[in-house]
Chains A and B, each alone.
Chain A
């Protein structure tokens, strides 16, 4: 990492600068070519002026004559233009689920940690980072920028997100698909506690716009293995609904429901080519991010 890491105000409890220093050794990579506005460390779909040869192409009127390969002309009596790979910067947009269910346990806190860390790393390597919260009380959309104060803007926005109301992530994904015109890397962070069909719709829309999608699925261990030892009344965090549950009655069916849900999410992710990561809240955040960065680095072009 040759870029200079941005300065961060102390007192952000969801940001660990020491961990950021350790993770900065691994670049945040896109899985495909990106369209950036400036030169960067990510591959561009256009040919550029880097030192890395890409291909020969027949000359077409209007091409820069400086790129004609005269040696090739001498050998074949035809005009060829020599093309090189172009590097550009990355547009990174975070979509954070701010529905009421994200208030269960440390979901929202972990979401803040992930966003803060990845945003910090991306800005540090010269990429533009934006953020949108999907929820009833969600704030404004912060478009991706690579300015120095963007970290502070993002962190302030993260700080202000609260988990409340029903999820609006499907709507948000569609809006992002229409809003972000250039290719970007879209990272969705949610517990996905809504109908998987609506998730498929939003992801397909983004994929259609050729965005690089990453889905970080937050799960609390208690949701996998409820720790009730007696009948309890459970109050829904997204509505007024409550349900009286006998653990003995529900145990087997609950386990099946969770298994089917996870299978369904993984199927959608595979079919929509989403980079899916399940994040258990009891896992160290460093392991989660390390796994994400390494896998993306290994799958980048």
Chain B
């Protein structure tokens, strides 16, 4: 406990007054004649203990009352560890507030109050109580020292609003330490308003070692006060769009959306999810078991007129609304590019290529050509590549390409690609093969041999179609003759179209994953690009000055036109790791910067009275103590009624 007016504690010796009065009173007793001394002698031996205890209790309560009165005059402050801060008032200590604005701080811990609001309000009231003049705010988005003149405006300030970006506490701490080193080397208190979420603190970050080294020079002049929230049992569910891609299956244009739900509870539940694209909202139920629920390739039909498709996926608001909405943008739709390399003219492949995309020109020299000229898919008919050709194809596959190998008319024995080759041609009776659920006739084929995933087989044992991963791409092998127009495989056509459809779907899925990585990189660039001048198309940051905090609020943004004529869209969402319930303990946080004095504020969680500061004057408690002491003294001093033995 500490005191705002500690000089009043010089009056503490006044607690001896009751003892002095007691001693004086004992010397002023009257003398009376008495006959029944034998009763007194008998009584003195028994029941004297409780009476003596009662007398001492009366004396103690009187001293307590006087002490409470003196304490009240000294204006006591609660929270003993923070008394250190109170004692610095006279030294003009600076208060630096590190504010974590990440989504995990949006979790509600009290009625309509988030962790960030509770922490901010507590720090604000504490600093007001202490009367600190110099206040510096370092928040997780800007990460710059901002002098604060008016504490009352702090909760409503835009720089204290929730953001969708994770916080980098290490960098914020380093900023604070450097501020103190460069501009203010006096005593200071660093107030950390963070829930200790592992993703925000990044305890493995190398930056903490730098912070520790730099903070070591500050010595005892700096104290760190960190806020801790007790884990609560409220269940949070978060939603995220994993992948968005175009689909051409079925009629009309559609996007396929893959959604993941994560829930802090292993109980199996069904969560209704609202998917909004434009003005259309549909609802789909996703089963969640063991804390995870997934929905792959949920189809949303879109119109023909617009190339800009974006929207959001939302669940009902729960304890943390920051992760209840996930925004998405469909990638720009482009026709796949296919390249064709055949030993003889293959009309079937040319026609199919034109149907599924655009055929690019045949590279003149395969060995020396740039693999990106293959486009999205390479259709190969002829002997399997060898030598530099093989290297070139593998390089293309490593980069995520798709290659479909068809056999030549004359097979070269013992020739393989990545361990896969063809057997001898088999010309037999017409047999039936199946690809997915499509059955088709086959008469002449050569079995695909090697370690690969079997997609279609014939004769019960021979592999007709298969695929294998090579790098991040896929090599497909087909054992049918596509150069002969009379081939049943060509004449039927359906199996060839089914195969190419699968190949291109795989290519799109891989491309969507690449888009996600590219989107993340674009977000970082977007957040740091002042010239981006974004406009928010969808999101909850409409009332904020977007140009100040570009990309740190969830939503769909349209970037400035770069002259290509196609506006670029970007979806910003809170990181999924912000929904994890992994927090650093107070000790773990303390070990990150061991050279400073760390104090911990325990927040009671849902029961916390969010309207009180961490340090406050405890007049109420002192007065309650005073009244209780006086009542106790009166009760103890009340004369006991003696019963007459007669």
Interface residues of A (CB under 8 A from B): 100-105, 107, 191, 193-195, 219-220, 223-226, 228-238, 241-262, 280
Cα A194 to Cα B41 in complex, Å, equals 12
Known pairs A253-B45, A256-B43, A256-B46; A237 contacts B51 (CB<8 A) = no
- Looking at A223, A228, A238, A251, the one whose CB has the most chain B CB atoms below 10 A away is A251
Cα A195 to Cα B39 in complex, Å, equals 11
> Is B646 an interface position by the 8 A CB rule?
yes
Q: What would be 17 A-B contacts, judged by CB atoms less than 8 Å apart?
A: A101-B36, A224-B645, A230-B29, A232-B29, A238-B37, A241-B37, A243-B37, A246-B55, A250-B40, A252-B47, A253-B44, A253-B45, A253-B47, A254-B40, A257-B43, A258-B645, A280-B646
Q: Which residues of A contact B50 (CB under 8 A)?
A: 252
Cα A57 to Cα B55 in complex, Å, equals 77
In the complex, what's the smallest C-beta–C-beta distance from A244 to chain B, in angstroms?
Answer: 7
Q: Which residues of A contact B47 (CB under 8 A)?
A: 252-253, 256
The 5 closest A-B pairs by CB, nearest first: A253-B43, A257-B42, A104-B35, A249-B51, A234-B34
**B30 touching A232, Cβ below 8 Å:** yes
> Is B643 an interface position by the 8 A CB rule?
yes
**A225 touching B644, Cβ below 8 Å:** yes
In the complex, what's the smallest C-beta–C-beta distance from A84 to chain B, in angstroms?
Answer: 47
**A237 touching B34, Cβ below 8 Å:** yes
Contact of A236 among B34, B44, B643 (CB under 8 A): B34
Cα A220 to Cα B34 in complex, Å, equals 11
The 8 A CB mask of B17-50 against A (1 = contact, 0 = none) is: 0000000011001111111111110111111101
> Is B642 an interface position by the 8 A CB rule?
yes
In the complex, what's the smallest C-beta–C-beta distance from A250 to chain B, in angstroms?
Answer: 5
Contact of A261 among B31, B35, B39, B48 (CB under 8 A): B39
> Is B639 an interface position by the 8 A CB rule?
yes
**B55 touching A223, Cβ below 8 Å:** no
Known pairs A252-B47, A261-B39; A226 contacts B33 (CB<8 A) = no
**B31 touching A245, Cβ below 8 Å:** no
Interface residues of B (CB under 8 A from A): 25-26, 29-40, 42-48, 50-52, 54-55, 639-640, 642-646
Cα A243 to Cα B33 in complex, Å, equals 10
**B35 touching A237, Cβ below 8 Å:** yes
Known pairs A246-B55, A258-B645; A236 contacts B37 (CB<8 A) = yes
List 19 extra interface pairs beyond A246-B51, A254-B43, A257-B39, CB under 8 A. Answer: A104-B33, A105-B35, A107-B35, A223-B35, A230-B29, A233-B29, A233-B30, A234-B31, A236-B37, A238-B35, A242-B31, A243-B44, A244-B29, A248-B54, A248-B55, A249-B51, A250-B48, A256-B42, A258-B645
**B48 touching A249, Cβ below 8 Å:** yes
Contact of B38 among A104, A193, A233 (CB under 8 A): A193
Cα A10 to Cα B25 in complex, Å, equals 51
Which residue on A lies nearest to B641, using beta carbons?
A251
Known pairs A232-B29, A246-B55; A194 contacts B34 (CB<8 A) = no
**A231 touching B26, Cβ below 8 Å:** yes
Known pairs A232-B30, A249-B48; A224 contacts B42 (CB<8 A) = no
In the complex, what's the smallest C-beta–C-beta distance from A258 to chain B, in angstroms?
Answer: 5
In the complex, what's the smallest C-beta–C-beta distance from A128 to chain B, in angstroms?
Answer: 33
Q: Which residues of B contact A102 (CB under 8 A)?
A: 35
In the complex, what's the smallest C-beta–C-beta distance from A188 to chain B, in angstroms?
Answer: 17
Cα A233 to Cα B43 in complex, Å, equals 15
Which residue on A lies nearest to B642, using beta carbons?
A251
Cα A182 to Cα B645 in complex, Å, equals 39
**A223 touching B36, Cβ below 8 Å:** yes
Contact of A248 among B34, B38, B45, B51 (CB under 8 A): B51
**B36 touching A193, Cβ below 8 Å:** yes
Contact of B40 among A191, A194, A243 (CB under 8 A): A243
In the complex, what's the smallest C-beta–C-beta distance from A15 to chain B, in angstroms?
Answer: 25
**B32 touching A259, Cβ below 8 Å:** no
Cα A249 to Cα B45 in complex, Å, equals 11
Q: Which residues of B contact A280 (CB under 8 A)?
A: 646
Cα A230 to Cα B55 in complex, Å, equals 13
**A253 touching B37, Cβ below 8 Å:** no
**A237 touching B33, Cβ below 8 Å:** yes
Known pairs A231-B26, A234-B34; A225 contacts B642 (CB<8 A) = yes
Q: Which residues of A contact B33 (CB under 8 A)?
A: 103-104, 234-235, 237
Q: Which residues of A contact B51 (CB under 8 A)?
A: 246, 248-252
In the complex, what's the smallest C-beta–C-beta distance from B402 to chain A, in angstroms?
Answer: 100
Which residue on B lies nearest to A278, using beta carbons?
B646
In the complex, what's the smallest C-beta–C-beta distance from B55 to chain A, in angstroms?
Answer: 7
Q: Which residues of B contact A103 (CB under 8 A)?
A: 33, 35
Cα A48 to Cα B625 in complex, Å, equals 88
Cα A237 to Cα B33 in complex, Å, equals 6
In the complex, what's the smallest C-beta–C-beta distance from A237 to chain B, in angstroms?
Answer: 5
Q: Which residues of A contact B640 (CB under 8 A)?
A: 248, 251-252
In the complex, what's the smallest C-beta–C-beta distance from A218 to chain B, in angstroms?
Answer: 10
Which residue on A lies nearest to B38, using beta carbons?
A193
Q: Which residues of B contact A237 (CB under 8 A)?
A: 33-35
Q: Which residues of B contact A224 (CB under 8 A)?
A: 644-646
Q: Which residues of A contact B30 (CB under 8 A)?
A: 230, 232-233
Which residue on A lies nearest to B30, using beta carbons?
A232
In the complex, what's the smallest C-beta–C-beta distance from A285 to chain B, in angstroms?
Answer: 18
**A220 touching B35, Cβ below 8 Å:** yes
Q: Which residues of A contact B46 (CB under 8 A)?
A: 253, 256
Cα A219 to Cα B645 in complex, Å, equals 12
Q: Which residues of A contact B26 (CB under 8 A)?
A: 231
